[in-house]
């Protein structure tokens, strides 16, 4: 990773751009969510996402990033993050994480959601619901004067109650003109530690939570991160700004959850 990355504060004008990109990104996720069902390939989902982003005047943040080959990170079942779309059709019982970013007018927005495809076990449904809840617990800690450790602790403390694992090797990050800026936002940590949050900071908070043990390995493709014990993982992410008195979530799951409701599918 190199050294610590710089933290860049955003002006109101910068935030306006990231907010607009967050809307495009949310709608992109929503378009993809409409298509989710057994039989669909993730390569097709990736094509739809890329077309949607380009039709809206943006570029997919991930495509070409460090050589990443696609617009979506597709992480199925025991894959935690950074999986590639491929020709394998989705199957009943799959746990599918979709991560995407939009780059437009000089700024990025970044968000991720994890879906149950068809019927999954109660423990998997709980993993998804509580990982998402941990994201919102963490967001509640975002305000000037609080520290990144307060955000980190909120994730860890929430999921610990359910016996889930917290991945440590990958972390959230600042978002702006670069997809990954400072500060790092781990999903574990101590209250009152780490960089102090100030108004204008924009961070991606992204709990990566495992049903089994927290240990992960990287596949030989140099990207795909999966659980060592091959148990499923979940990943939810929002891009969030520190405001003068709290936070604003700059990305949205509204379009995703509208699509799921329409299809009468389970919402995490």
DSSP H or E stretch at residue 133: helix 122-139
Bridge partner list, 241: 202, 248
Write out the DSSP string of 25-71: HHHHHHHHHHT-STT-BHHHHHHHHHHHHHHTT-EESSTTGGG---S
- Nearest Cα residue to 166 out of 211, 129, 219: 211
Closer residue to Mg ion, CB minimum distance, 112 or 202: 112
DSSP H or E stretch at residue 172: strand 172-174
Structure token digits, residue 106: 């000089």
Closer residue to Mg ion, CB minimum distance, 252 or 262: 252
Closer residue to Mg ion, CB minimum distance, 59 or 118: 59
Please state the closest distance from residue 200 (CB atom) to Mg ion, in A: 19
Report the distance separating Cα 110 and Cα 239, nearest Å: 6
Please state the closest distance from residue 172 (CB atom) to Mg ion, in A: 6
Q: Give the binding site for Mg ion (CB under 5 A).
A: 99, 110, 112, 204, 237
Please state the closest distance from residue 183 (CB atom) to Mg ion, in A: 13
Report the distance separating Cα 116 and Cα 27, nearest Å: 19
Please state the closest distance from residue 264 (CB atom) to Mg ion, in A: 27
- Nearest Cα residue to 14 out of 253, 265, 250, 261: 250
Please state the closest distance from residue 237 (CB atom) to Mg ion, in A: 5
CB contact at 8 A, 141 and 242:
no
Closer residue to Mg ion, CB minimum distance, 99 or 184: 99
Closer residue to Mg ion, CB minimum distance, 204 or 216: 204
Please state the closest distance from residue 122 (CB atom) to Mg ion, in A: 27
Closer residue to Mg ion, CB minimum distance, 14 or 99: 99
């Amino acid at each position: 990773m190199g050294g610590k990355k710089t933290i860049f504060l955003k002006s109101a004008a910068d935030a306006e751009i990231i907010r607009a990109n967050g809307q495009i990104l949310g709608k992109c996720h929503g378009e993809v969510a409409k298509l989710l069902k057994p039989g669909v390939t993730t390569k097709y989902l990736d094509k739809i996402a890329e077309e949607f982003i380009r039709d809206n005047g943006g570029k997919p943040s991930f495509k070409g990033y460090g050589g990443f080959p696609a617009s979506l990170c597709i992480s199925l079942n025991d894959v935690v993050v950074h999986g590639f779309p491929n020709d394998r059709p989705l199957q009943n019982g799959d746990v599918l994480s979709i991560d995407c970013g939009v780059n437009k007018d000089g700024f990025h927005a970044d968000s991720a959601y994890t879906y149950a495809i068809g019927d999954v076990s109660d423990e998997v449904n709980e993993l998804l619901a509580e990982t998402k809840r941990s994201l919102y617990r963490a967001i509640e800690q975002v305000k000037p004067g609080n520290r990144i450790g307060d955000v980190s602790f909120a994730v860890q403390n929430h999921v610990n109650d359910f016996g889930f694992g917290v991945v440590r090797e990958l972390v959230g990050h600042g978002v702006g003109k670069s997809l990954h800026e400072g500060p790092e936002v781990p999903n574990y940590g101590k209250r009152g530690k780490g960089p102090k949050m100030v108004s204008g900071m924009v961070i991606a908070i992204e709990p990566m939570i495992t049903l089994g043990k927290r240990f992960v390995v990287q596949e030989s493709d140099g990207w795909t991160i999966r659980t060592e014990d091959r148990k499923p993982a979940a990943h939810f992410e929002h891009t969030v700004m520190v405001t003068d008195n709290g936070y604003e979530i700059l990305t949205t799951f509204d379009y995703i959850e509208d699509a799921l409701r329409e299809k009468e599918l389970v919402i995490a």
